Amino acid sequence: MLPAAVTHIPDEVLDSFPHTKRVGNYLLGRTIGEGSFAKVKEGLHVVTGEQVNLLLPSFFIHLAR
């Protein structure tokens, strides 16, 4: 378990991150890039507040619809 200092994310951060879906502990944002096998999306880890880039394979995208 992570300490509260790491896991407390201000509501402003969560509210200000433009997202379309939540997958597990991540909020998915805009698409950064797209190829024939995967998409790269902005993401926000809701536990730590860290902004990341997520590589989503095409088969995952089709399953999520």
Please list the pLDDT of the chain residue by residue as tens digits (65 residues): 656 655 667 777 777 788 878 888 898 999 999 998 899 999 999 888 889 999 988 776 555 55
Q: Over 6-56, what HEC string results?
A: HHCCCHHHHHHCCCCEEECCEEEEEEEEECCCEEEEEEEECCCCCEEEEEE
Residue-level pLDDT at 61: 55
Residue-level pLDDT at 34: 93
Instruction: Read off the pTM.
Output: 0.69
